[in-house]
Amino acid sequence: MATAVLNLDFENLPPKINDLEGYVQAFILIHVRKRPVGQVLVPVKNGLIDRIELLEILKEKCGWSLCEQILHDYLGWETVEVPHPLPQATVAVITRDRPKDLTRCLNALLKIPDEGQEYLVVDNCPATDETKRVVDNYGGRVRYVREDRPGASAARNRALREARYEIVAFCDDDAAPDPAWLRSLLRNFSDPLVLCVTGLTMPLELKTKAQRWFEIYTPLGRGFSRKVFDFDGHDSLDVAPVGVSANMALRRSIIDHVGLFDEALGPGTPTRAGEDYELFSRILTSGYRIVYDPAALSWHRHRHTWQELRQAVFGYGVAVYAFWTRALIVEKELRVLRLAWFWLTRKQLPNLIRSLLRRKNRAPLDLLLVELCGCTLGPWAYIFSRQRINQRNNKA
């Protein structure tokens, strides 16, 4: 079931889509004048995609989105008040011992039009000097900083402190942003209450079973409509729709308004992830706004093996309950108990029963079980991680 990933412009669809031998289907991201408007799965037969069949599927799945974007472009409607000039930005890549991923990421970033942005790589607790050697290959176009406190949150906090510009755009090392990515993030900062902007994250490849199930089970994209989140209109403890830190820009002044990332959360700590959700929650409860803009497109390399996928799903389970534990302990948010009960009884257990009964469109049982295991460990992971950081700070 190898799946090709294609990026096509609706108004310039090729007359023939071929050279797809070895693939049985294609995951297609559809653009209208460089704006993503939808995604479809299309069968591949004998290495070809039938153009008529593709148009029929697009009409069924993306018809309104296509018409809406074409109409907006024709009438010159723009839903975003774009600041002029755009603010300058620091683009920060957080990495640890993944030189191949980092090289692909930096190559993609350096295709972004030069509008004065700086590029910063934060090397988190490296075991070797490979990351430094990769950065040196770019001849001064990329700045290198080493952060020896473990965890992605510590590295992100270091990036915020090191950044030369007010807007800091974060990109994970396993991502490859589109050339229009940075400008699409920056155009959303005209509102002074917007502290964070997130973007659309699509799969870079879907070659393996694990990568396909990652996109089905835990996709990083949040749809094709621009959304503005604030405390009055959105539950600050249910922030999954906001986006992900792999594709995100923050004002550096967030340090003064809201505070830094909680270093007890995130990759490289016992909590595995969740640092972005916790910060999103704090932004909303502090009275500020977050914008999700699908025009800010980035491509993410999903986990390649089934074991890596299981580890990721386990980590997401740990992270959500670690984030909620922090909200309960630190913010005294008793609503967490209701949310956890709702998630268990309305989502996790029904999905588990559906899988056990072998119903259609069921999720793999081992992914459901490993996520549930992660959830049970989440509270203890946060407590242990918090204690470890306190001990480290006391020694310092």
User: Are the beta carbons of 274 and 320 closer than 8 angstroms?
Assistant: yes
Please report whether residue 108 resides in a domain. Answer: yes
DSSP state of 176: E
Q: What is the pLDDT of residue 89?
A: 98
Token look-up 């039009």 returns: 113
Burial 333-352 (b: 16+ CB within 10 A, else e): beebeebbeebeeeebeebb
Mean pLDDT of 245-268: 97
Per-residue pLDDT at 163 exceeds 90: yes
Q: What is the pLDDT of residues 351-373, one digit of tens each?
A: 999 999 999 889 999 999 999 99
Please report whether residue 84 resides in a domain. Answer: no
Boundaries of domain holding 38: 3-75
Report the DSSP beta bridge partners of residue 8: 30
Give the residue from 262, 283, 304 where a domain finishes: 304
- For the four alpha carbons of 160, 163, 167 and 172, in that order, the dihedral sign comes to negative
Average pLDDT in the chain: 95
Report the DSSP beta bridge partners of residue 175: 300
Residue 164 and residue 241 in one domain: yes
CA distance readout (Å), 247 to 5, 91, 312: 19, 11, 18
Token pair for 302:
């999903």
Q: What is the pLDDT of residue 364?
A: 97
Please report whether residue 83 resides in a domain. Answer: no
Compare 79 and 328 and report the one with higher pLDDT. Answer: 328
Give the residue from 304, 333, 350 where a domain finishes: 304
Residue 373 phi, psi dihedral angles, 5° rounding: -60, -40
Residue 294 and residue 312 in one domain: no
Residue 287 and residue 214 in one domain: yes
Instruction: Give residues with Cβ within 8 angstroms of 177, minimum separation 6.
Output: 105, 108, 109, 112, 171, 247, 297, 298, 299
Please report whether residue 81 resides in a domain. Answer: no
Residue 247 and residue 128 in one domain: yes
Q: What is the pLDDT of residue 267?
A: 96
Residue 241 and residue 296 in one domain: yes
- For the four alpha carbons of 59, 64, 67 and 70, in that order, the dihedral sign comes to negative
Q: Identify the band that residue 66 occupies on the pLDDT scale cut at 50, 70 and 90.
A: confident
Please report whether residue 95 resides in a domain. Answer: yes
Q: What is the pLDDT of residue 68?
A: 82
Residue 324 and residue 265 in one domain: no
CA–centroid distance for 102 within its chain: 16
CATH number (domain holding residue 237): 3.90.550.10
Mean pLDDT of 315-332: 97
Q: What is the pLDDT of residue 141?
A: 96
Please report whether residue 327 resides in a domain. Answer: yes
Percent of the chain with pLDDT over 70: 99
Q: What is the pLDDT of residues 194-239, one digit of tens each?
A: 999 999 999 999 999 999 999 999 999 999 999 999 999 899 999 9
User: Would you call 205 exposed, middle or buried from its count of C-beta atoms within 10 A (0-12, 13-18, 19+)?
Assistant: middle
Q: Identify the band that residue 277 occupies on the pLDDT scale cut at 50, 70 and 90.
A: very high
Mean pLDDT of 270-288: 97
Residue 278 and residue 347 in one domain: no
Residue 175 and residue 322 in one domain: no
Dihedral over alpha carbons 290, 296, 301, 303 (to 10 degrees): 30
Cα end-to-end distance, the chain, whole Å: 53
Q: What is the pLDDT of residue 33?
A: 83
User: Are the beta carbons of 280 and 265 closer than 8 angstroms?
Assistant: no
Please report whether residue 361 resides in a domain. Answer: yes
Q: Identify the band that residue 25 occupies on the pLDDT scale cut at 50, 70 and 90.
A: very high
State how far the Cα of 294 lies from the Cα of 311, in Å rounded to an integer.
28
Per-residue pLDDT at 80 exceeds 90: no
Mean pLDDT of 165-191: 97
State how far the Cα of 274 lies from the Cα of 326, in Å rounded to an integer.
10
Per-residue pLDDT at 21 exceeds 80: yes
Q: What is the pLDDT of residue 350?
A: 96
Amino acid present at 293: D
- Of 202, 174, 176, nearest to 303 (Cα)? 174
Residue 23 and residue 137 in one domain: no
Domains held by the chain: number? 3
- Of 62, 70, 15, nearest to 38 (Cα)? 62
State how far the Cα of 349 lies from the Cα of 365, in Å rounded to an integer.
11
Per-residue pLDDT at 336 exceeds 90: yes
Residue 265 and residue 330 in one domain: no
> Where is average pLDDT lowest: 100-109, 313-322, 356-365?
356-365
Q: What is the pLDDT of residue 64?
A: 84
Per-residue pLDDT at 101 exceeds 90: yes
Residue 347 and residue 237 in one domain: no
Q: What is the pLDDT of residue 71?
A: 79
Percent of the chain with pLDDT over 90: 89
Residue 148 and residue 211 in one domain: yes
Q: What is the pLDDT of residues 109-144, one digit of tens each?
A: 999 999 999 999 999 999 999 999 999 999 999 999
Per-residue pLDDT at 59 exceeds 80: yes
Give the residue from 50, 75, 100 where a domain finishes: 75
Please report whether residue 80 resides in a domain. Answer: no
